[in-house]
Structure 1
Amino acid sequence: MKLKDFFEIGDAECIEPSVFDHIDEYYNTLVLAVNAGEARLLVDENEMPLAVAWNSDGNWSISSYLYRNITYDIIGKFEGCTGEIFQEKRDDYESALREYYCGKITDEYPEVGEDNREGRHEMILDLFKDTVGVSDGKSAIDFCCGSGVASKALFSAGYLPLSMDNDPYLISVGLHKGRLDPKRTLCIDASFSSYFCPKSDLGTGLMLGDISGFNSDLWQGIVAQMLMLTGKTLITVATEKESLLIRKWCENAGRTPEIFENENDPIYDRWVCLC
């Protein structure tokens, strides 16, 4: 389903320009400024608000409340409009919302190259089989997914990955090449993962870095999010020095990491941290 189908309306645009903007309370202010005489409220299976579609002079716009709370002022604005209430499953709407923004990204980058080298998918799949094993549908989060090479390998290993990266071009590559699922892909800063992602069985972050003195705080924050959200975590980096930093951060979080050198792929995933 497309977003508009949940409200039984024609073409509609989201008020928030990107999915990452959904955590910004500023957009509640924009909603209150919309001149709408008609509105449609969407609630989930527990009757919690998911989104509101606003009709302003025949133009529909949608504001969503998956990642920030709806306010009493916005509810009051809806009640002041001619309106209807619809109900759908939260997961279905969230998938459609991700797909909407992935469509924006592929529209912005309609022509892409290929950043994957031959054989890398098989190398990553072998790494997964040797470390975290195959699955029968367990949940996973692929942090800093790039163009989705690891996400595709996770799927091949039987996991159901939710993928994220902050580079829209790389995401577009993954979407165009079929490695990323638009219903399960987010263009966000991984430092804010907990706003967008439920806890999962497995977390992966392949080829993190470069991690250096001036940006180590940034990467430490991302690793902290990974450890908080995932039961088992697999991280790869290029250098032993980086792996020792990862070890320290994992130990500080109460994990017991296993660090080893991956002889099968000395270029991309040379040092592996499993915890």
Structure 2
Amino acid sequence: MLLQEFLGIDEEIYLVEESYTTQRTLERTLQYLNGVRNFPVAESIRLIRVREGEHTLGLLFFNPADENVPVDFWSLFTGALASASMKTRFEALADSLLTSNPPEKDIELSFETWRNAINEYYSLMLVSRDLCPGCSVRPESYKSVFSENRVKKVTEIFELLRKKGYYPEGRLLEVCCGNGMSTLALYRLGLDPLAIEINKCTVCQGLEQQVLNPQRVVVMDATAISRYFEPGSFDAVMGFMLGLVYEFNKEIWTGIMREAVSVAAAGAVLLFTVSSKPEIEILADTLLKAGVEGEIVDNTDSEGTYDQWLFVGRKQKSKFSRP
């Protein structure tokens, strides 16, 4: 595990927060750290600090084995993924604890490296079923789940984008990635997206088949992206085979489009595919109104199944609205 590798420890590590998304609010983290600060701490406490420059990314406290827990382990607290206000509170608490308890290790890592390690932790916990007690889903074979024709279809879309001058690069976000069928195509193209998906089972499936990168996938609701990422966080936001998009459920999908635009940088590429023209027209209308300049592209083929219609465009420097 990356965390153990970076920290140079052999004992197990457990994050206090139960998921990537709860890292945003830090309810347990702040409660526990306040408890530590308000009670006398033994002089023999073992503490590790992880930082980027002067900013504390994480604190680890050693927990020796006892009659209740038969193995040694480290409790990990981090504020790196939190909102700005929560991050400030975490760092203030960390500073106060470090004043009276100098760490035995002071390790410097970049934020990106640290985030990838945290992502990997939650991915490994998911695959081991630690986040899903009582799970009865059995792993399926690769061939029964993944289709090379589907991967090829996505690859061909990127050849089309290159010709149109919309090829994405930089910081990439893939929404609604499912089990990683389309993500696999992105990897093969040399792209490294952060992939998000709300369905834990499909993410687990992609991880089990070693299709999804455990460091770069997050279980997250695409209708709430802006709660976890700041405006301008990504140079491209994409989603493949979204839907089905109907009149009765379009608010969900149009909401995802607005969220995608909100975290995209000026000039960012926005790319979304669906199976039918009416679906892409609904998404395109929302994207155009949200300040994206782009076009609907007919990508139909004889199979008539995947990625038949797409919208591609760029977020403009200033938002505008259309009546």
User: TM-score, normalised to structure 2's length?
Assistant: 0.75
Q: Which amino acid aligns with 1:178?
A: Q
1:211 corresponds to which residue?
245
Matched, 1:43 2:51: yes
> Distance between the aligned counterparts of 1:126 and 1:262, measured in 2?
10
1:2 corresponds to which residue?
2
Q: Which amino acid aligns with 2:50?
A: L
Structure 2: unaligned runs, 5 residues or longer? 66-72, 130-134, 314-323
Larger deviation, residues 236-245 vs 78-87: 78-87
User: Shift of residue 55 of structure 1?
Assistant: 2.5
2:208 corresponds to which residue?
176
Matched, 1:106 2:118: no
Larger deviation, residues 59-68 vs 237-246: 237-246
Q: Which amino acid aligns with 1:52?
A: L
Alpha-carbon displacement from aligned partner over 1:25-66 (angstroms, at most 9, x marks no partner): 31222333357653222101x321111112344542001112
User: Shift of residue 5 of structure 1?
Assistant: 3.8
1:67 to 69, 75, 81: 81
**How many percent of aligned residue pairs carry the same amino acid?**
22
Structure 1: unaligned runs, 5 residues or longer? none
* Cα gap change, 1:132 to 1:173, in 2 (>3 Å): farther
1:266 corresponds to which residue?
304
Number of aligned positions between the proteins = 274
* Cα gap change, 1:217 to 1:32, in 2 (>3 Å): farther
User: Shift of residue 121 of structure 1?
Assistant: 0.7
> Distance between the aligned counterparts of 2:281 and 2:208, measured in 1?
36
Matched, 1:94 2:115: yes
Matched, 1:123 2:157: no
> Distance between the aligned counterparts of 2:58 and 2:160, measured in 1?
43
CA contact (8 A) 1:136 1:158 kept: no
1:147 to 167, 179, 186: 179
Alpha-carbon displacement from aligned partner over 1:140-187 (angstroms, at most 9, x marks no partner): 221111111111111222322221111121112212223211111111
Q: Which amino acid aligns with 1:81?
A: N
* Secondary structure of the structure 1 residue equivalent to 2:48: strand
User: TM-score, normalised to structure 1's length?
Assistant: 0.87
* Cα gap change, 1:129 to 1:152, in 2 (>3 Å): same
